[in-house]
């Protein structure tokens, strides 16, 4: 049965003109203080223009949604979509652009791996997350290497996030059961003080799911998964001026799954054992010396690998992308300026082995950059943000070609607050990205010897308003990426395929009072390559989706009992060539939860995902290539009752 397309209601239409998921608009960008030396008023910067546009997700939201995967983490964000019905096949899309166009980091460690275009490459355990920050579109010079479409920054918890005042040590034990997959999730976290300032956290999580059942009642074969994740982190203040954090974050995802996990089972899409791994070691050091000297340093190593064990045609394939990097930044604060500047370095080593030909293929890419970002409070109401970075890229590819490039990326933005709680903002930014190591499982492809670097140009304008619990906002964005790099089936090379664009609007309206929190958000994006809408086959670039609405309600019945509902409604998408790709039907999916704390330190959470058992395929997931017996997507999971219990010792 073909789902009915989602139709806009008159209420939703009336809200649209009010409503940008720029949730950082709760506070003005500047504040007035007294200078102690001469008792004259000066303006100090307390926020960047670009912060007004960022999206923040905290651990409380993640825990209430009983997040198992990326889709659960981002399910309240209309500007972000996650395609792929299983954890291993999920990809993040921001404004229609795929995660390959974004800078992804965990505790400052950049995750530059792109393993296989039929599955995702971002691997995180929601249980361990403290915060997620999303910067959509090219923006700050501090967003890192290659942030053509923006940046997603994951931050993990540490011992101090869990220790209550006066506590020296503690533990949290959690367990959950999921009816759809007959699965379970258990975790144990131990944390405590090593010294007065230092804390140690150790956490391990085990998730085991069988095949899921979609909204039509059909079992989706080879969607089972066994995941083990762990975090070990020593962090805290060595003394008043010195902060240090040393962490190890590891994750393994095993299962018998299809060669192309984003597609359904067919005779040309066999199943076999696979293993996806990630290990990240991060060292953070901070020094607070004076107004002019505040050091923030991150050194990291990440290895992401994918094993295909005994493919019926190709035998065993195995490979990894190993990344190590260093970022050193200093913050200098003046009377009306906050200046952040520094250097970055990153090296990617890609190695792939296939038993069918017995050969090993390698590539190595090196990147370096200088960056500077300044926030200047011209007046109490007006903040100017401006910055730039200069990047150097060097690649030794699989054909021993040396591909070098370098480029300059400026940005400028204004935030004007004529009234308390009202922000009017506009920004323009560029981002540069040279040739990088290729996707691991197609590393054998040849680079065009005349390959040019990519350059993104992003413009935004918008408004945010906050007053006594009421919030609303609207922004328009326009992004152009010139000389976009992708694989061309015409030239059979990795080459510059044209100009990638995306533009659209984001809007939101919300109201918070003591016992109720509400938010309605809306996002529209139109990603195109040389004027043609992207499809699900626009590998490594993005895909087109219908306009998306998210309604989120939280009701605080008592201090120990709360209820929540998230409704996601996506409009039909029909700008397609029906001889190649079918229309994407609209749909509405509803998730609810209730969280109860019957006694201190004991929490029960019951969630129902896809309450009405909707049979649908997320627009960010692969749908179908018309006429092909192979390229057929899979539907998302149907109704799932999830029960979680957590006890803190």
374/19: higher pLDDT = 374
Would you say residue 132 has pLDDT above 70? yes
What's the burial of 491, exposed, middle or buried (CB within 10 Å: 0-12/13-18/19+)?
exposed
Would you say residue 12 has pLDDT above 70? no
CA 111/CA 425 separation, integer angstroms: 31
Q: What is the pLDDT of residue 13?
A: 35
2/537: higher pLDDT = 537
Percent of the chain with pLDDT over 70: 92
Q: What is the pLDDT of residue 289?
A: 85
Contacts of 535 (CB under 8 A, 6+ apart): 543, 544, 576, 580, 581
Strands 129-136 and 150-156: antiparallel
> Which single residue is written with the structure tokens 């219908």?
546
- Per-residue pLDDT tens for 565-579? 999 999 999 999 888
Pair 487, 539: CB distance under 8 Å = yes
C-alpha distances (whole Å) from 527 to each of 95, 281, 351, 477 are 8, 35, 32, 12
Q: Which domains does the chain have, with CATH numbers?
A: 10-648 (2.40.170.20)
| 618: confidence class by pLDDT, cuts 50, 70, 90 | very high
- Per-residue pLDDT tens for 341-387? 999 999 999 999 987 777 899 999 999 999 999 999 999 999 999 99
Residue range 282-298: mean pLDDT, rounded:
95
Q: What is the pLDDT of residue 626?
A: 87
Q: What is the pLDDT of residue 22?
A: 34
Least confident residue range of 59-73, 138-152, 466-480, 528-542: 59-73
Q: What is the pLDDT of residue 620?
A: 95
| 123: confidence class by pLDDT, cuts 50, 70, 90 | confident
Q: What is the DSSP letter of 558?
A: E
Neighbours of 380 (CB within 10 A): 14
Q: What is the DSSP letter of 476?
A: E
Average pLDDT, the chain: 90
| 630: confidence class by pLDDT, cuts 50, 70, 90 | confident
- Per-residue pLDDT tens for 410-450? 999 999 999 999 999 999 999 999 999 999 999 999 999 99
* 229-244 residues labelled b (16+ CB within 10 A) or e (exposed): bbbebbbbbeeeeebb
CA 320/CA 440 separation, integer angstroms: 7
Would you say residue 19 has pLDDT above 80? no
Q: Long-range CB contacts (< 8 A, 24+ apart) of 166-174?
A: 168/192, 168/193, 169/193, 170/648, 170/649, 171/648, 171/649, 172/646, 172/647, 172/648, 172/649, 173/646, 173/647, 173/649, 174/127, 174/644, 174/645, 174/646, 174/647
| 47: confidence class by pLDDT, cuts 50, 70, 90 | low
| 1: confidence class by pLDDT, cuts 50, 70, 90 | very low
- Per-residue pLDDT tens for 448-472? 999 999 999 999 999 999 999 999 9
Would you say residue 42 has pLDDT above 80? no
Would you say residue 521 has pLDDT above 90? yes
Residue range 16-34: mean pLDDT, rounded:
36
Q: What is the pLDDT of residue 394?
A: 98
Centroid of chain to Cα 394: 26
Contacts of 507 (CB under 8 A, 6+ apart): 16, 18, 19, 20, 473, 474, 475, 521, 522, 523
CA 48/CA 279 separation, integer angstroms: 33
* Coil, strand or helix at 329: strand
Would you say residue 62 has pLDDT above 70? yes
- Per-residue pLDDT tens for 163-183? 988 899 999 999 999 999 999
């Amino acid at each position: 049965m073909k789902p009915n397309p989602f139709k806009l209601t008159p209420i939703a239409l009336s809200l649209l003109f009010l409503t940008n998921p720029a949730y950082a608009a709760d506070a003005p960008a500047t504040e007035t203080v007294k200078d102690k030396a001469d008792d004259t008023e000066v303006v100090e910067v307390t926020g960047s223009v670009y912060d007004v546009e960022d999206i923040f997700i905290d651990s409380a939201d993640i825990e209430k949604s009983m997040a198992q995967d990326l889709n659960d983490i981002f399910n309240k964000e209309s500007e972000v979509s996650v395609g792929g019905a299983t954890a291993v096949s999920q990809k993040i899309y921001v404004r229609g652009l795929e995660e390959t166009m974004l800078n992804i980091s965990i505790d400052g460690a950049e995750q530059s791996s792109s393993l296989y275009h039929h599955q995702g490459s971002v691997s995180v355990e929601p249980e361990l997350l403290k915060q997620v920050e999303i910067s959509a579109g090219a923006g700050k010079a501090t967003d890192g290497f290659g942030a053509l479409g923006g940046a997603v920054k994951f931050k993990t918890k540490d011992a101090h996030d869990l220790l209550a005042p006066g506590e020296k040590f503690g533990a949290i034990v959690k367990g959950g059961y999921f009816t759809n997959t007959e699965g379970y999730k258990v975790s144990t976290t131990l944390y405590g003080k090593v010294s007065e300032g230092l804390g140690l956290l150790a956490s391990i999580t085990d998730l085991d799911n069988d095949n899921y059942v979609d909204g039509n009642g059909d079992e989706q074969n080879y969607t089972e998964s066994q995941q083990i994740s762990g975090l070990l982190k020593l962090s805290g203040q060595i003394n008043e001026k010195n902060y240090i954090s040393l962490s190890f974050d590891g994750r393994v995802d095993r299962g018998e799954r299809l060669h192309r996990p984003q597609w359904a089972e067919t005779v040309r899409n066999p199943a076999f054992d696979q293993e996806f791994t990630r290990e990240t070691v991060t060292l953070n050091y901070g020094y607070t010396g004076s107004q002019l000297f505040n050091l923030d340093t991150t050194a990291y190593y990440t290895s992401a690998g994918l094993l295909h064990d005994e493919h019926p045609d190709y035998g065993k394939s195995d490979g990894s992308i190993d990344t190590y990097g260093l970022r050193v930044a200093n913050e200098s604060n003046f009377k009306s300026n906050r200046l952040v500047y520094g250097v970055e370095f990153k090296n990617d080593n890609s190695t792939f082995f296939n038993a069918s030909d017995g050969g090993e293929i390698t590539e190595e890419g090196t990147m370096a950059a200088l960056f500077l970002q300044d926030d200047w409070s011209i007046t109490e109401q007006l903040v100017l943000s401006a910055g730039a970075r200069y990047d150097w890229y060097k690649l030794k590819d699989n054909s021993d070609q040396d591909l070098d490039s370098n480029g300059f990326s400026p940005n400028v933005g204004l935030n004007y607050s004529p009234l308390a709680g009202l922000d009017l903002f506009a920004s323009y930014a560029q981002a540069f990205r040279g040739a990088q190591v290729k996707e691991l499982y197609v590393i054998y492809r040849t680079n065009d010897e005349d390959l040019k670097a990519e350059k993104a140009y992003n413009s935004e304008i918008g408004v945010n308003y906050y007053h006594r619990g009421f919030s609303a906002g609207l922004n328009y964005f326009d992004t152009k990426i010139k000389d976009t790099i992708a694989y061309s089936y015409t030239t059979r090379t990795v080459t510059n395929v044209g100009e990638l664009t995306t533009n659209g609007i984001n809007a939101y309206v919300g109201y918070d009072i003591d016992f109720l929190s509400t938010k309605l958000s809306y996002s529209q994006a139109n990603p195109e390559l040389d004027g043609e809408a992207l499809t699900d086959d626009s590998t490594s670039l993005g895909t087109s989706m219908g306009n998306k609405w998210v309604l989120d309600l939280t009701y605080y019945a008592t201090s120990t009992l709360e209820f929540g509902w998230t409704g996601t409604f996506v409009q039909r998408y029909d700008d397609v060539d029906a001889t190649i790709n079918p229309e994407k039907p609209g749909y509405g999916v509803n998730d609810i939860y209730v969280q109860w704390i019957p006694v201190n330190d004991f929490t029960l959470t019951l969630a129902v995902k896809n309450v009405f058992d909707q049979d649908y395929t997320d627009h960010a997931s692969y749908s179908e290539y018309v006429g092909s017996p192979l390229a057929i997507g899979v539907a998302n999971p149907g109704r799932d009752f999830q029960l979680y219990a957590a006890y803190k010792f």
